[in-house]
Amino acid sequence: MTENKNNRTLRSSSERKERKKSWTPPSSLDAPPAPQGFKHRWIRTETVGQMDTGNVSKKLREGWEFVRAEEVTAQLGDHDFPVIAEGQYQGLIGVGGLVLARIPEEVVEERKKYFRNKTSDQVKAVDNDILREQRPEMPVNIDRQSRVSFGGGRKS
């Protein structure tokens, strides 16, 4: 009986090690890894069947380049990423009105810096507008700190 009990324990622990990962639905936006020094992003080319040329031309002017399927094949070998078979974007990796594009990381950092500066300038302008309305009887205190407090009754 002890031997049977030990076998059961061994069997169940080995079964635990062999368990497979649980199934999850595949993502339709899986993308190949970006080459060293680049970032990948999906760019919208159409919405509800209408071409979105404005968005595409804006992204191309920002420095994004479309990712061709043969580039990915050269980099990774055979792949199962979705390739557009016909039309204007033939040969590109894309799915459902989206096309994969890449941009150098230096451009991404410059873009972040630009928008960080723009946001800072806007915050300063708002602060200046508020301070301009300040009066001696009602001073304005610009305090950018948040505080979280939780209930608690009055203590007697």
pTM of model > 0.85: no
HSE-CB of 156 using CA atoms within 13 angstroms: 0
pLDDT tens for each residue of 12-48: 555 556 667 788 887 778 888 899 999 999 999 999 9
pLDDT single digits (tens) 87-138: 899 999 999 899 999 999 999 999 999 999 999 999 999 888 888 888 888 7
Listed residue (39, 55, 36) closest to 47, CA to CA: 55
**Judging by DSSP bridges, how do beta strands 50-51 and 46-47 pair with one another?**
antiparallel
For 134, phi then psi, to 5°, come to -65, 145
**Amino acid at the residue 46:** E
